[in-house]
Amino acid sequence: MHAADNRAEVPASEPVPAGVLVVDKPVGPTSMQIVADVRRRAGGARTGHAGTLDPLATGVLVLAIGRATRSIEQIMATRKGYETVIDLTAFTTTDDSAGERTEVTPAAPPAEPAVLASLDAFRGRFLQRPPSFSAVKVGGRRAYALARRGAAAELAPREVTVGRLDLISYEWPLVALRIECGKGFYVRSLARDLGVALGTGGHCRSIRRISVGPFTLSEAHRPEQLPARIGQADMIPLDEALRRVVNDGAPPVGATPAR
């Protein structure tokens, strides 16, 4: 996942707001469309996101405004929480429901113990291949741009970390999971790889981010509820936001423990 910074100047006659705004992104708009809307409402102040969400994904999108954009990398380094529903009937070109399907019909649907056993391989540190439709750069181009032209690249696996992976429910063909992971983890790749492990298909029917470090859905604003003019009072002050990141209760997933 990558930070974004949409820059413009606030009129000199107005104070430049600075802080963190948590948005509950709906299905449909891109993260950059949310950034652009918030930037406009914040009077053109610099605005960036601390980790993108796919158009079909929903949930916590943390936006840094004004001088808070300098702290985006620190916020991005925190652990992320997701809930996802995985459909085991097919693989897709995008690893979610937007792509072209390749149906897979197993001889028999896997039983819940088999699903639980397969999940063990996706806890801790392991190598994960990003989706072909992702923002990973290949020769200076985004992978999704190549994939849209029919030149999808086979991306190299990268080390990722999952601190927690819980089965919420399983009823063929749907697996509902709750995930706590570090930076760079792709939920869509988990869906694909779980399907491979089970001998079924695997793609995300839904993805919802429930937290980014200490920032959760409980404080998230729906885009349509944002004020026409976002001011300082609408944000989490920068000092408070950074204090919460530091005091999150645990180091970022994948961090090296102090010795």
Catalytic residue among 24, 54, 234, 248: 54
Q: Indicate if 96 belongs to the active site.
A: no
The torsion angles phi and psi of 96, rounded to 5 degrees, stand at -140, -175
Would you say 69 and 47 are in contact if contact means Cβ atoms under 8 Å apart?
yes
Hey, what are 166's tokens? 């819980």
Give the active site residues: 54
